[in-house]
Structures are given as structure tokens and as C-alpha cells.
Amino acid sequence: MACMPTEDVEFHDAIKEVFRRYPEAQGKYALAGLDLENEMKIDFNEKVGVSRIEGDKIITEFKDRKSVIRMQICLKWNFDYTECLHWKEAEE
């Protein structure tokens, strides 16, 4: 596949092995890079992604952490699950 990562090969191989060991997780989780967020210079200490579905689109806005007060469901955690990086607003 032309778009396979060429960096951190050992890390990606380890992740593939985890998915092989837990096939039921393959349809629930995916490994996502933070390339776009890094390009936008998102500081996850200050901002959090909040997403909503509009038709066939997922719209994500980055908001000040302190301003996000509605009920949320975490979509992306940091590496050790101590901080949510990306939320989905829960239905009212």
C-alpha cells in the first residue's frame, strides 16, 4: 500500500499484532495520526476537538477546553488514556 507509514515501523508492527490478537477490536478502533492537528498547531493542553455529524460529513472544531461543558463521548485519547483529545457531543 502506497500510504503505509514509513516512520515508527516497529511501533506500527506492534499495533498490527495487537489487532491480530484482538480481532473483535478491528471494527471498533483505528490508529489515527495527528498530522492535521500538528499542521494546524493544535495545543491539546488548551484545545479539544469536538465533532458532530451533518449528513455524510463529520465536522470537527477545536474549542477551548474550559468552554466545552456539554455532555461528551471521548473519541480519541492520548497515548496513556489520561486525557481526551477529541470529543463527540452526546445527543440531548
Query: Grid coordinates representing 62?
Result: 477545536
Q: Name the band, by pLDDT with cuts 50, 70 and 90, for residue 12.
A: confident
* Angle, alpha carbons 58-61-64 (nearest 5°): 150
Choose between 30 and 3: higher pLDDT.
30
pLDDT for 69: 62
Q: Is 2's pLDDT higher than 60?
A: no
| Residue ranges of domains in the chain | 1-31, 32-92
Cα 33–Cα 11–Cα 7 angle in degrees, nearest 5: 60
Question: What proportion of the chain, given as a percentage, has pLDDT over 70?
Answer: 87
Q: Output DSSP code: residue 83.
A: S
Average pLDDT of the residues in 6-30: 88
Give per-residue pLDDT as tens, 35-80.
899 999 999 999 988 888 899 999 999 988 877 666 678 888 888 8
- Asked if the model's pLDDT at residue 4 lies above 90, the reply is no
Q: Which residue has the cell 481526551?
A: 84
Sorted by sequence, the CB contacts under 8 Å of residue 71 that are 6+ apart come out as 89, 90
